[in-house]
Amino acid sequence: MMETGPDPADEPFQEPGEPFHEPAGAFDEPAGSFDEPGEPRAATGEPRVDAALARLDELDGRPVTEHRPIFEDVHRRLRDVLGELDTREPSPPEDAADAVSRTDR
């Protein structure tokens, strides 16, 4: 006989409208603590992106109610940089450029 996993009949039934109780340990904190400084953020090579991401460091120690404006600013900055990339004229693939140069001969 083939096993198909746990039998749903073994799970406790929860009436609709009852509060959901997640099993203990389901939301354990990840290894380490959010209060400990982590690895330094690697530079992206784009100064405007690095500056936007550096704003995230301002979240440390602030109440959650003050996080939204920082996230919105970081999002706006990153969207601006990506928007500029999206409007640039794409360069032709290398093999396409070679094909054009061969036909010009």
CA distance 71 to 14: 37
Q: What are the Cα distances from residue 61, in Å, to 10, 52, 68?
A: 44, 18, 14
Coil, helix or strand at residue 55: helix
Tokens matching residue 38: 């982590």
Q: What does the domain layout of the chain look like in residue ranges?
A: 46-87
pLDDT value of residue 65: 94
Tokens matching residue 16: 């609709």
Q: Return the percentage of the chain with pLDDT > 70, whole number.
A: 48
* Low-confidence residues in the chain, pLDDT < 70: 1-38, 89-105
Helices (H), the chain: 47-54, 67-87, 94-103
> What is the CB neighbour count within 10 angstroms for residue 74?
19
